[in-house]
Amino acid sequence: MSFADRLAHAVRSKQSVTCVGLDPRKAQLPAPIRDAVSGDSPDQWAAAYTQFCHEIIDVVADKVPVVKPQAAFFEQLGPAGMIALGEVIDYARAAGLLVITDGKRNDIGSTATAYADAYLGGDSPWGSDSLTVSPYLGRDSIEPFAEVCDSREAGIFVLVKTSNPGGGLLQDRATEGQLVYQRVAELVTELNQDRVGESGYGPIGAVVGATYPEQLVELRQAMPSAWILIPGFGAQGGGAEDVKPGLDANGLGAIVNSSRHIIFAHARDPYRESFGDQRWQDAVAAATDDMNAQLANR
C-alpha cells in the first residue's frame, strides 16, 4: 500500500487528523524526567528524550495516526541524540504509528538520493515513512526523493508555504507573474500526476502553515492530489477553522501538527492545575483528546 493510502487508512481508523510533533527540549521536560538527569551529559539527556518520547507514543498511539519527530532537537545532543532519534522512530512504528521525520533535507543529484535512501521507507537505516524536504534547489533535487518513494512506498512533504512569519521573504516573491510558493505547489502537483493511489492522493505532500488560512484555501485547490501537513496549530496561533480548508469533503487530505501544545500540556492552562508535572502523561492524553475534538467539530 502506498504511503498516501496508508495515511488515509490511518486517518480513517483513528478518526483523527492530528499529528503529534515530538520536539523534546531540556528545559520543558516534565520534572520527573528532567530532574533525573545529573549534569549535562548528552548520553543522559538522550536517554531522557527517549523516555519522554516513548511515553508520549504510549499515550497517543490509539488516538492519532502519525507522529513527527523533529530531528534538530536530537541532533543538538550529537551522536547520542541521533541514536535516540532512531530509537524513537522504531518505537513509534512498532506502536502502529506512521512517522514523518522533520529534517527538511535536500541537496542535488547523488546527495539527494543519499538522503532519500537514508530516511525513506521501513527498510531504510532510519525507517521513516516520510520526510520533510526543502524545494530550494529545484526540481532535480526533489525527483530523487520521489523515485525512492516509488520503490519503498514512502512519502515526502515539500515545504510550500511555511508557518513562520519570515517565510514570505522568498515564498511570497513574485517571478514571471507567479509567487514562488505557487510554483512550488505546481511542482508538487506535477510530481504526483502519475503517482496517485486509491485514496486519490500521491506520495508527494506539501507543508502549508495554519497561520496562512487564505493561502491554505488556494493551495488545497492547486494541489488536489497532495496530502498537506499543516503546522502552526495551537502554540503558533492557528485554530480549527483555519485548518478546515486543507481537508477534502471526506475529511482526508490533511494532517494537522501540534507539538508544544500537546507534549508540554502539563505546563499550560487548563492542564497545569489538573495534572501538573507529576501527571504529565495524563495532560498529554487530555490535550490530544481536546485537539481531536476541536478538529472533529471544525
Classify residue 252 by its DSSP letter: -
Other beta carbons within 10 angstroms of residue 293's beta carbon come to 11
Other beta carbons within 10 angstroms of residue 175's beta carbon come to 9
Closest C-alpha to 81, from 114, 57, 111, 53: 53
Strand, helix or coil for residue 287: helix
Q: Pull the grid cell for residue 114.
A: 543519499
Q: Select which of 14, 26, 63, 104 is catalytic.
A: 104
Half-sphere exposure of 55 (CA within 13 A, CB side): 20
Active site residue 63: no
> At CA 93, angle to CA 272 and CA 157, rounded to 5?
85
Asked if residue 270 has a cis previous peptide bond (ω within 30° of 0), the answer is yes
| Sequence-distant (≥ 6) Cβ neighbours of residue 177 within 8 angstroms | none
Closest C-alpha to 113, from 87, 151, 81: 151
Active-site residues, by number, are 104
